[in-house]
Structure 1
Amino acid sequence: MTKSTIDPIIEISNIRKSFGSVHVLNGISMAVKPGSVVCIIGPSGSGKSTLLRCINALVPIDAGTIRVGEFQVEKLHTEKQLVPLRHKVSMVFQQYNLFPHRTVLENIVMAPVKVLGQNRAEVEKRALELLGKVKLSGKEKAYPGQLSGGQQQRVAIARALAMQPQVILFDEVTAALDPEMVKEVLNVIRDLASEGMTCVLVTHEMRFAEEVADEVYFTDRGVIVEHGPPGQMFKNPKDERFREFLSKVL
């Protein structure tokens, strides 16, 4: 079965979200196939990060529907209802959000043990394997303050993977990093994508989006202006707003 014949793992239909009088999402629809990489690009303030937060119910939507696997996200309201969703969908933020007073290992094992109730010894074994995956073997006893920004972001990715998700959302994960650290984080995401992890990324790294994405969405003012395969999007953009955006960032 090819990706094109598989049902989407994420289906978003006509969602809307306002903060007070500011309309942030104005009828967004998209579908994400299992094992695919979707990159969302666009100017600052176009609703990209809010869209990601709506997918795993960090932000409730005002209208429309979001389905992730078997979960109808807008119908989940209590923490008990949300735990299985957060097991399926992990998120990595621009700011690493690591606990500074806990070691790297503790940061990774906390959620699987405390939220999912998994066996600590098994989770620690998995955490050490994940540190190898993100090329941080030997750093398990370090504290976040002893690591570079790129290393902290890779710990955050390992922490997300420790929940054994089916989908990972990446919210501008390289935006706060020095240029030389960007590459090491993108390499980890590239590896995850090549292994078949479903990834949805909000990113300003256009060349990376062109290289790894199966589908690229360009958003502006809370709507999807244009979307398609990266080859089509970057080499033959149809919408004037998108062409103008690319002229500024490429």
Structure 2
Amino acid sequence: MTTSSTPIIKVADIYKNYGSVAVLKGISMDIQKGDVACIIGPSGSGKSTLLRCLNGLVPVNHGSIRVGNFQVEKLRSEKELVPLRHQVSMVFQQYNLFPHKTVLQNIMMAPIQVLKHNAQEVRERAVRLLAKVQLSGKENAYPGELSGGQQQRVAIARALAMQPEIILFDEVTAALDPEMVQEVLNVIRDLAAEGMTCVLVTHEMRFAQEVADQVFFTDGGIMVERGEPSTFFSQPRDPRLKSFLSKVL
């Protein structure tokens, strides 16, 4: 769905250090509204840190990040970050559900407590979202009663409950058994088809080939190569990408 309009996410020359360790070294990327962007690369290449920088979970040392109308690196306090988190939701590898709260309560908490939305409206939204991720009837279940795939779909519904324009997915299938991976990817596939802007750190290469508008390859904290899946996977230019793909495809 890539167009030539102003990108909804613009990352320009960002650097991030943890102490003396440089994790991101001058990364730049543009993502258009409605695009599915997949970030791939070896472990420790800075992919998850990059994702966390996009919604202000991790501050950058240098460079700029614009997401929608927000200049992310200028947002300092939690109060300043709340409007950004309304626009940009994140789903993590570990589901981070509250074990002592029901599925419905998990989904409803943030819109009520953070966004101050009406509880009845949020409840109706949560029920609709559970249907969307094919979990109708699980409203009163607790996370411990669900499979990993079901818990991850609850986590996606929880992210959608914030009514974001962008969803970030951080290796959301990495902790799942193989048979559960597909049910989670199907939900993301549906969101992409509806025009949701999705940014995924993923090891699911076939999914990236099928669904992505752009694929980015990071290695050693550097953005090595980017492109459309049709050429990115079949005609890699950089030797590091060629080597990586030879191991994972």
TM-score, normalization by structure 1: 0.99
SS in 2 for 1:91: strand
Tell me the C-alpha RMSD between the 2 structures.
0.7
State the Cα deviation string for residues 27-54 of structure 1 (Å, max 9, x = none).
Answer: 0000110000000000000000000000
2:151 corresponds to which residue? 152
| 2:43 is the alignment partner of 1:44 | yes
1:197 corresponds to which residue? 196
1:70 corresponds to which residue? 69
Identity of aligned residues (%): 71
| 2:38 is the alignment partner of 1:11 | no
Distance in 2 between residues matched to 1:190 and 1:235, nearest whole Å: 22
Distance in 2 between residues matched to 1:28 and 1:124, nearest whole Å: 40
Report how far residue 145 of structure 1 moved.
0.1
SS in 1 for 2:218: strand
- Gapped runs of 5+ residues in structure 2? none
Distance in 2 between residues matched to 1:44 and 1:85, nearest whole Å: 28
Report how far residue 79 of structure 1 moved.
1.2
Distance in 2 between residues matched to 1:164 and 1:223, nearest whole Å: 32
The ranges of structure 1 where at least 4 consecutive aligned residues each deviate by more than 6 angstroms after the TM superposition are: none
SS in 2 for 1:110: helix
Distance in 2 between residues matched to 1:57 and 1:3, nearest whole Å: 25
Report how far residue 4 of structure 1 moved.
1.6
2:114 corresponds to which residue? 115
| 2:160 is the alignment partner of 1:169 | no
Report how far residue 3 of structure 1 moved.
3.7
- Gapped runs of 5+ residues in structure 1? none
Distance in 2 between residues matched to 1:10 and 1:237, nearest whole Å: 24
1:247 corresponds to which residue? 246
Distance in 1 between residues matched to 2:133 and 2:213, nearest whole Å: 23
| 2:229 is the alignment partner of 1:230 | yes
State the Cα deviation string for residues 58-87 of structure 1 (Å, max 9, x = none).
Answer: 000000000001100000011111000000
Distance in 1 between residues matched to 2:122 and 2:147, nearest whole Å: 25
2:55 corresponds to which residue? 56
Distance in 1 between residues matched to 2:125 and 2:3, nearest whole Å: 32
Distance in 2 between residues matched to 1:5 and 1:205, nearest whole Å: 27
Report how far residue 202 of structure 1 moved.
0.1
State the Cα deviation string for residues 88-145 of structure 1 (Å, max 9, x = none).
Answer: 0000000000000000000000000000000000000000000000000000000000
Report how far residue 7 of structure 1 moved.
1.0
SS in 1 for 2:187: helix
SS in 2 for 1:145: helix
1:104 corresponds to which residue? 103
